[in-house]
Structure 1
């Protein structure tokens, strides 16, 4: 019994590192350069993001290590899958692999790990099996797993309708994910169908750069009003001229404080 309660305590503490007492979170994704080879600017912009006090960051191994002190007050979600880049032609097939194991993620201070999964894609079995195996590995360590559920994959083999996104989110939860990150299928109010279908906290990813920062904040507010647990925004934050101010606005929109 002691073993199971220890696992439960570990997960609880790590989840609380990412989510506030209200069960909501502002995640800032800065893991793009691992496949783009460019993206989040290094140095002072990272400190600006951290100064806005995001609840957690989605980061690569390098950023987790190099900016450990900068983001020490934020939860760390480590990207553990990859293996393809935009330097070549983006492959149509799922070529991703698990690059860092759960115990390795713990050693670098991760509160959670994140992987992509593509239900509805022609080779969905590969990513769904990766997710399930990672979940079972992390369960014995008390390490939460975030599943980034993309129905049909980035090529949208199935359309990103509210129903399909909701089903993808539910699949992620059923395979054991503690948190689901997924697309917002249209206006933020559409996220209500996704939140209702998913039995674990579900957050909306930001996707392409929005026209204005008011739009970014409005989406975050709308997602939470629809029952979402928050947002995981990347280029909409690190692409901002004033990322600290934007993170602070997102915190207000998500937590209402």
Structure 2
């Protein structure tokens, strides 16, 4: 018997792998470069190899036409203007995500923040609702806050990822530790699939692609890259290159992005 969660996972994954562009930055950072017109960005990139995109609920309502790829509704937020940007509060519900036509729900949890207990409580609640309604939950588990000295420490990243899995997430998104050997241990210790965040905008295409390649070799099922795609000078080309790494297991940088290594913009 095929359950609704499996059907929805099939809309945000392809062959069990993910290439997602998160576009939830508008609440936290405002209409920054690359996402000033999200509808145009989605329309122009959705056929380049993405399996899904991630947006805040209001953006789903504002889209002029139904997208052709999977939709993840992001349901937690905080702003850079507020008293505590690390305190992500719940801004929607699983039922609302379903009404909007989303294929999955995501929450952002900052492990090590002083508000961590409240965020974990909400994560547990939403996980229960996702199970009730058979919709996938993607938990963004970031080591970030007052108690985190090194957010890329493999033991801390592994702990954060494991928390997401044990709280009920179907997929955990977390930071890359910086090398495939240590990240392989993170993947091994997490009982649900892991995808990596892109982090700050990289200086070169080779940095972006190598991080993707190393994470995949370590056992990740994909990437969720935001600024490294939507602020890239040629978003479609970097998506195609990432798709080759994730789905085709080979990548010819010379043929995909030009003869010389170019800076991403």
User: C-alpha displacement at 1:38, in angstroms?
Assistant: 1.6
Task: Name the Cα RMSD after superposition.
Answer: 1.9
Taking structure 1 as the reference length, the TM-score comes to 0.88
Structure 1 residues 102-113: aligned runs within 5 Å: 102-113=94-105
User: C-alpha displacement at 1:116, in angstroms?
Assistant: 1.2
- State the partner residue of 2:219: 227
Relative to structure 1, the CA distance from residue 139 to residue 68 in structure 2 (aligned partners, 3 Å threshold; closer, same or farther) is farther
User: C-alpha displacement at 1:65, in angstroms?
Assistant: 2.6
The superposition leaves residues 98-138 of structure 1 with CA deviations (integer Å, 9 ceiling, x where unpaired) of 11111110011111111111233333211111100000111
Instruction: Tell me the distance in 1 between the aligned counterparts of 2:202 and 2:86.
Output: 28
The answer to whether the Cα contact below 8 Å between 2:114 and 2:146 also exists between their aligned partners in 1 is no
Instruction: Tell me the distance in 1 between the aligned counterparts of 2:115 and 2:219.
Output: 31
- What's the secondary structure of 2:61's corresponding residue? helix
- State the partner residue of 2:241: 249
User: C-alpha displacement at 1:93, in angstroms?
Assistant: 5.7
Give unmatched runs, 5+ long, in structure 1. Answer: none
- State the partner residue of 2:160: 168
Does structure 1 residue 142 correspond to structure 2 residue 134?
Answer: yes
The answer to whether the Cα contact below 8 Å between 1:121 and 1:158 also exists between their aligned partners in 2 is no
The superposition leaves residues 53-106 of structure 1 with CA deviations (integer Å, 9 ceiling, x where unpaired) of 310111122332333636x22111111112x312x2551662x32111111100
* Bigger mean CA offset, 99-108 vs 120-129: 120-129
Does structure 1 residue 33 correspond to structure 2 residue 29?
Answer: no
From 9, 14, 33, give the equivalent of 1:15. 9
- Give the total of aligned pairs: 245
Relative to structure 1, the CA distance from residue 156 to residue 216 in structure 2 (aligned partners, 3 Å threshold; closer, same or farther) is farther
- What's the secondary structure of 1:59's corresponding residue? strand
Larger relative contact order, structure 1 or 2 (CA cutoff 8 Å, min sep 6): 1
Structure 1 residues 12-161: aligned runs within 5 Å: 12-21=6-15, 23-39=16-32, 40-42=35-37, 44-67=40-63, 69=65, 72-82=67-77, 84-86=78-80, 88=81, 91=84, 94=87, 96-151=88-143, 153-154=144-145, 157-160=148-151, 161=153
The superposition leaves residues 164-209 of structure 1 with CA deviations (integer Å, 9 ceiling, x where unpaired) of 1011101110110001000011234432121111111100000100
